[in-house]
Structure 1
Amino acid sequence: MPELPEVEIVRQSLNKKISKKKVKKVIIRNKNLRIKIPNNFGKFIENKIVKNVSRFSKYLIINFPNNQYCLIHLGMSGTIHFIKNNDKKYKSNLSFYHSPFLPEKHNHVELIFNKFRIIYNDPRRFGFFQIITSFSDLEKKFAHLGPEPFNKKFDLNYFYQYSKGKNKKIRDLLIDQKFVSGIGNIYANEILFLCRIKPYKKIKFLNKENFNQIIINSKKILSEAINKGGSSIKDFKNTEGDKGGFQDNFKVYQREGLTCKRFSCRGKIIKKRIGNRSIFFCNSCQI
């Protein structure tokens, strides 16, 4: 599943393409996504001018005039593709975790503009589109989620108060969207490496300095990932057709058995399972 940096790169790409453009037509080929697309979806979107595309956590938000919104979540396998009207090759630069060539049977939603179209493709159909008709409803949609790592609310006092009395592993806390929004397994592993903390360490054994380091390094890792265009685990490309580059900076993720990259550390990267996900950490410098 794409995490905050990858969704931010898609947001930037999509915003460049559709901002200030009018949606001429909407084609729904399959309503049965994770949340069923409502019958009035096309009528709601058509002939509206896109103000811009914003983001909260892993959600894309197409902003229309008069506090009206289209919320998009990519789920596990959802991808958004930009296709010029005269392009018969079905090749795109917005593809994430997927081949840029579209398997047409999974094209569920098309937003048609004057000279191009945006296609939502999702083989597993865990993503969704949702229309929201007021700012207060938009706030309610995100009310159950924690602050983003870049939000000033994500501070030492918040971390300490939220984690007090909990028996969770620190990796599990970092990917808990109710605690902090946007961090997934990839970046949780990288953040905890910088902090020298094992992913399965219980938060009750951490101190305030550990919390402060996690806050600082969360911002650092996510900022670096965004600056490098996200992590291209498969075929993600941005609007210019370039792959993300942060995967070249991985210190632990997918480096099982390799030597630790930390200067003067002779440790090896270990892979273990927590729940249904893999964790990666150094067996020497992470304690």
Structure 2
Amino acid sequence: MPELPEVEIVRQSLNKKVKQKKVKKVIVRNRNLRLKIPVNFNSYFFNKKIIKVGRFSKYLIIYLPEDNYCLIHLGMSGTIHIVNNKSVNKYTNTSFYNSPFLPKKHNHVELVFENFKIIYNDPRRFGFFQLIKSNSDLIKRFNHLGPEPFDKNFNLNYVYNFFKGKNKDIKNFLLDQKFVSGIGNIYASEILFLSKINPIKKAKLLSKKECQKIIINSRKILLKAISMGGSSIRDFKDALGFKGGFQNEFKVYQQEGIECKNIGCSDLIRKKITSNRSTFFCDSCQK
């Protein structure tokens, strides 16, 4: 599943293409995604101008006229493709983890504009579209989620007090969207390595200094990943044919058995399964 940086790359690609463009036609081939697409879906888009494309955590937000919004979550296999009408796209995929080309099957939703169309493809159908009818409802929709790492509320007071008395390990907290939104398995491992904190350390044992490291390094890692186009774990190219580059910067994720990249450390990166997730770390550097 794409994490915050990958969804941000999709947002940037979409916003550049559809901002202030009018939808000429809506095609829904399959309403049965994780959330069933409502029968009035067409009326929210047809002949309407897209104001902009935003994002919160791992959700795309299409801003529509009359204080309406459409959330898109890509799920496990959802991808968004941009197809131009008058020129042949070598690459269509703005998303991650699947083919850079538009697949022939599982194209569930199309938004058709004057010179191009946006196609949502999802073989496993775990993604969804959700219509939101007011800004207050949009805010309520995310009430169950914690702040993003970039949010001013993700600060030392919040993090340190959240961890008080908590027995759960720090890696699981970074994956807990109720604590902080947008971080997944890749970036949690990289953040903890940079912070020199063992992923299985209990959250209640973290000092204020360690909490501050997590805050600073969460922002540092995610911003660097965004600047490098995200992490291309599989055969990904964006709509311009470029791969993400942050996978070349991995220090621990998927580096099991490789020598630690910290200067002066010759230990090997270890892999441990915690809560059914692969956790990568250096036992010498991360305490």
If the TM-score is normalised by the length of the shorter chain, which range does it land in? Answer: over 0.9
Q: Does 1:135 align with 2:135?
A: yes
Deviation digits for residues 13-42 of structure 1 (CA, Å, limit 9, x no counterpart): 011111110011111111111111001001
| Structure 1 segments of 4+ aligned residues over 6 angstroms from their partners | none
Q: How does 1:264-275 map to 2 (within 5 A)?
A: 264-275=264-275
Q: What is the RMSD computed on CA atoms of the aligned residues?
A: 1.3
Match for residue 76 of structure 1? 76
C-alpha distance in structure 2 between counterparts of 1:188 and 1:178, whole Å: 15
Establish whether residue 180 from structure 1 lines up as the match of residue 184 from structure 2: no
The more displaced of 80-89 and 128-137 is 80-89
Checking the alignment, whether the CA contact within 8 Å between 1:90 and 1:102 is kept in structure 2 is no
Asked if 1:203 is matched to 2:203, the reply is: yes
Aligned to 2:166: 166
Give the match's secondary structure for 1:215: helix
* Contact 1:80–1:96 (CA under 8 A) maintained in structure 2: no
Once residues 12 and 86 of structure 1 are traced to their aligned partners in structure 2, the CA distance between those partners, rounded to angstroms, is 22
* Pairing 1:57–2:51 present: no
Report deviation, 1:241.
2.0
Residue type at the aligned position of 1:247: Q
For 2:91 and 2:43, locate their aligned partners in 1 and report how far apart those are by CA, in whole Å: 28
Alignment TM-score, normalising by the size of structure 1 = 0.97
Deviation at 1:202, TM superposition (A): 1.0
Q: CA deviation at 1:86?
A: 4.5
- Segments of structure 2 that go 5 or more residues without pairing to the other structure are none
- The answer to whether the Cα contact below 8 Å between 2:85 and 2:116 also exists between their aligned partners in 1 is yes
Name the structure 2 match of 1:247: 247
Match of 2:216 in 1: 216
Contact 2:20 2:49 in 1 (8 A): yes
What is the identity, as a one-letter code, of the residue corresponding to 2:213?
Q
Where does residue 237 of structure 2 map in the other structure? 237
Q: How many residue pairs align between the two structures?
A: 287
Whichever residue aligns with residue 54 of structure 2, its letter is S
Equivalent residue letter for 2:169: K
**TM-score scaled to structure 2, two decimals?**
0.97
CA distance in 1 between partners of 2:267 and 2:90 (Å): 46
Higher alpha-carbon deviation: 135-144 or 159-168: 159-168
Residue pair 1:54, 1:62 contacting (<8 A) in 2 also: yes
Q: How many Å apart are 1:267 and its aligned residue?
A: 1.1
Q: 1:275, CA displacement in angstroms?
A: 1.9
Deviations 1:232-282 (A, max 9, x none): 111333343211111100000011100000111111100111122101001
Identity of aligned residues (%): 66
| Alpha-carbon offset, residue 120 of structure 1 | 0.4
Partner of 2:101: 101
Contact 1:255 1:269 in 2 (8 A): yes
